[in-house]
Amino acid sequence: MTTATPSSKVLEFNNTTVRRNLPTAELIELAVLRGEGRLASNGALNVDTGARTGRSPADKFLEDTPAIHDTIDWGKVNQPISAENFARLESLACEYLDRREELFRFDGYAGADPDYRLKVSVITEEAWHCLFAKTLFINAEREALDGFEQDWTVINACNLRIKDYESYGLKSDLAVIQSLEQRKVIIIGTRYAGEMKKSIFYAMNYDLPDMGVFPMHCSANVAKDDDTNVALFFGLSGTGKTTLSADPNRALIGDDEHGWSDSGVFNVEGGCYAKCIGLTAETEPQIYNAIRFGSVLENVVLDDATREPDYDDGAKTENTRVTYPVSFIDDARIPSVGNHPKNVLFLTADAFGVLPPVAKLTPAQAMYYFINGYTSKLAGTEAGVTEPQPSFSPCFGGPFLPRPPMVYARMLADQIKKHHSDVWLLNTGWTGGPYGEGSRFKLKYTRAFVTAILDGSLREVEFETEPFFGLHIPVEVHNVPRDVLNPRNTWKNPEAYDEKARDLARRFRENDSKYDVDDAVRQAGPKV
């Protein structure tokens, strides 16, 4: 029997039909007919990803070759797999797919700026995965499909299980393996679609620096009446990156992944991938209204009779998601490009309750808090976690960085210096005490901080310096009570605040010891 040839640039499957770049409606119809999902009452396709409802970082591996070895930050995130085992797994996946009745292919782009975009082909065994790619990435023009030669290939064999996985150097019967040299991603054994999205972001994080472009795990928007008023929002999951960038008074550029070139910023993707848990029309109207025919819901519970989504139900997972094209957001910027940002915001959800809700950072502080990438894990989210635990992810995107974090931190420093961007730390976490005692900052206060930053008024107010982290806190912000601004003032017991602040400061210092940063940057961190 003739099998697929995994080494070919344009993959060919000889024993199956590959259905290429099908229209959205046809992909949805096929997904429903094949039993992959069902339509929710709002028209979105709702799917269940099975046992894996999030990424599988322990099962992600990078092909180790001489050409890229010395450029990679090897370790827990970047786990090596030999070239031999990569080739064996690629052949296994391709031979499996070539036995399917039909496959689906999407051809498009990563990168809204034509000067820096990469061509991407995604081959899937399930129709809804192809729809996900069509929704999330940038669709190629019809005339560009003739002779389309991809830069990156994603092969998704989601239902294949790897027997004797240890013989391949793996940890389980699923794997996400990537080759930076061959520009390929092979996904085996997981239906979670976010693996496709993040693998291409990982690819851009390797390729863009060689093009002189700073890749960023951030959202971006721009004032509707001022093209020069661009803002970036860096943050880990749960900090508000998507929520705060979806602003009815501003045009969305993108919600998660961007590049910053000499021309300005551009979205890596053509869609958004928003969390759904707790979603309401009142708190996040733009996201809520974007969920309609053409969008994909993952692991959201539907009422059996009405098919109405229950966004409060986390029975399957707290990581419920929706994917929709950027164009589903009213007044989104299409194409998704913008000028150099005036403001850069670092978002953190501090469950210790000690960081201020907003602070202006010096350039050295900006580099320090970027390289540390702090937020919190909450009690009960993982076995053995009984109290809030600090979570440090370098550059607010550690799982997606093939190169050493300092490469990206220096690119940030160069860009904010060159373009005179202001940098802010915005805490969307807890006030009045730690998680379990205090309360989460009100979203209306957080939006007031963002408004004051983006309209320029916060630059003009008086600031005071708090003693533990050396952060510059405004003494007043329009529409926010003064007693909210300094976190120590919100605690019933100020001495308890001091103890908790010292605790978090020590944890920052333990984390920053991992990085070879300049003295000025290290001195910009907390005082212990």
Question: Which residues carry out catalysis?
Answer: 55, 198, 217, 237, 241-242, 256, 321
SS3 of the chain: helix, strand, coil, percent, to 5? 30, 25, 45
- 474, 463 in Cβ contact below 8 A? yes
Burial (Cβ within 10 Å: 0-12, 13-18, ≥19) of residue 483: exposed
Q: 3-class DSSP state for residue 423?
A: strand
Cα separation, 175 vs 295, whole angstroms = 27
Burial (Cβ within 10 Å: 0-12, 13-18, ≥19) of residue 443: middle
Which of 317, 347, 424, 440 lies closest to 388, judged by CA? 440
DSSP codes of every residue in 354-398: -S-SEEEEPHHHHHHHHHH-EEEEPTTSSTT--S-EEEE-GGG-G
- 398, 370 in Cβ contact below 8 A? no
- 52, 191 in Cβ contact below 8 A? yes
Cα separation, 214 vs 191, whole angstroms = 30
Cα separation, 271 vs 328, whole angstroms = 9
- 145, 107 in Cβ contact below 8 A? yes
Q: In the numeric block, which tokens belong to residue 456?
A: 């320029």
**DSSP secondary-structure letter at 292?**
S
Is-cis flag, bond preceding 335, omega within 30?
A: yes
Torsion from C-alpha of 381, 382, 388, 392, nearest 10 degrees: -100
Cα separation, 276 vs 320, whole angstroms = 5
Q: In the numeric block, which tokens belong to residue 426?
A: 């915005």
309 CB-near residues (< 8 Å, 6+ apart) = 40, 41, 42, 44, 46, 276, 291, 297, 300, 301, 302
Q: Which amino acid is present at 126?
A: E
Q: Which amino acid is present at 465?
A: T
Q: In the numeric block, which tokens belong to residue 199?
A: 């693998």
